[in-house]
Amino acid sequence: MPCRSVDRRIDVDGVGELAVTAYLPESIAGDAVLFLLPGGGYGRHYFDLDLTGHPDHSQARWHADRGLVTVTVDHLGVGESTVPERPLDFAQVAAAGDAAVRTVLDRLRSGTLDPELPAIPGAVPIGAGQSMGGHIVVWTQAAHSTFAGVAALGSSFTQTRLALQPGRRHPFRAAPMEEVYAAMGDVDFVASFHWHEEPPAFVAADMDPGHPAPWRSATVPACAAELMEPFAVARQAAAVRVPVLLVYGEQDVTAEPLADLAVFRSAPDLGLLLVPRSAHMHNFAPTRHLVWARLQSFAAQVVEQRRLVAGVPARA
């Protein structure tokens, strides 16, 4: 039997509500709970893509069908969550996300999230974010120690660099940031986000600014623009002290994935997956299952490591 999905709105004191969807397996395989957070311009439905004639593009259902409780979250200021009138910075978005994750975890552990779901008293949260979502997951972890492990999917921690239209060139590395921001007008978003083998209907639906697809978000937190700056979230990445997984497509937004990995200088366990035949938005790619399978095993690995560490005798 396929998994069930339930929508909830989580109240966050002082800021509003965050919209979440929990994908609940028929049979839970372990204590890991995977929280998925979207990138800039996207909402949580990016993780549950649905387009007629192109099945099997739902990452959230793929995980849940394999026993992993999976929760997708719209950031504060994104999708169906509250959109404050004031501009949001990363600290505010991260604080709201941390509060929502902890509320969902409390309900999962007590068995009150859904009447048909048994309690998971030992629930272990794993945070994974796509693009900007990865930066927010890392910021959240550094500020609040929310997760037992974090994964960033297509998030550069050195400097975000998108593909440009033919004949255009990136600014010289010593150029002022004004030139970097100006070059955004030369970005080829289709080439950056989509691999050429993807169904044209998917690409057209995703890239149509006049008719936003249901997985897109009409709003983006103002702080997203900062991600074009070198090492924008590097200080937070260096403070992460849990296992880390970085995932990049063959065509993605970082110049050197190994350099991004090195930014996480405090992490006790570092993993890197380079995905062939994939651009930045991995869930559209023909090789998307490679990402999902690696993330599934990462979640299980984090839980198993915690179990083994708990069994090590205390120091004499």
The pLDDT, as a whole number, for residue 126 is 98
The verdict on residue 195 lying in a domain is no
The verdict on residue 206 lying in a domain is no
Q: Are 259 and 159 contacting, i.e. CB atoms less than 8 angstroms apart?
A: no
Element (H, E) at 6: strand 4-12
The pLDDT, as a whole number, for residue 164 is 83
- pLDDT by position in tens, the chain (length 316): 589 999 999 999 989 999 999 999 999 999 999 999 999 999 999 999 988 788 899 999 999 999 999 999 999 999 999 999 999 999 999 999 999 999 999 999 999 999 999 999 999 999 999 999 999 999 999 999 999 999 999 999 999 988 888 888 877 777 787 878 787 777 889 999 999 999 898 899 999 988 899 999 999 999 999 998 999 999 999 999 999 999 999 999 998 999 999 999 999 999 999 999 999 999 999 999 999 999 999 999 999 999 999 999 988 7
| Three-state secondary structure call for residue 222 | helix
Cβ atoms < 10 Å from Cβ of 193: 28
The pLDDT, as a whole number, for residue 170 is 78
Residue 167 vs residues 40, 61, 63, 171: alpha-carbon distances, Å: 26, 41, 41, 13
The verdict on residue 31 lying in a domain is yes
**Which CATH number covers residue 51?**
3.40.50.1820
| Amino acid found at 24 | L
The verdict on residue 207 lying in a domain is no
Domain ranges, residue 117: 4-160+214-310
- The count of structural domains within the chain is 1
User: Helix 132-144 vs helix 90-110: angle between axes, to the nearest 10 degrees?
Assistant: 70
The verdict on residue 21 lying in a domain is yes
Residue 19 main-chain phi, psi, to 5 deg: -85, 130
The model carries a pTM of 0.96
The pLDDT, as a whole number, for residue 83 is 97
The verdict on residue 155 lying in a domain is yes
The verdict on residue 115 lying in a domain is yes
Q: How far apart are CA 179 and CA 177, in angstroms?
A: 5
The verdict on residue 238 lying in a domain is yes
Residue 112 exposed, middle or buried by CB count within 10 Å (0-12, 13-18, 19+): exposed
The pLDDT, as a whole number, for residue 4 is 95
Residue 73 vs residues 20, 26, 151: alpha-carbon distances, Å: 4, 21, 15
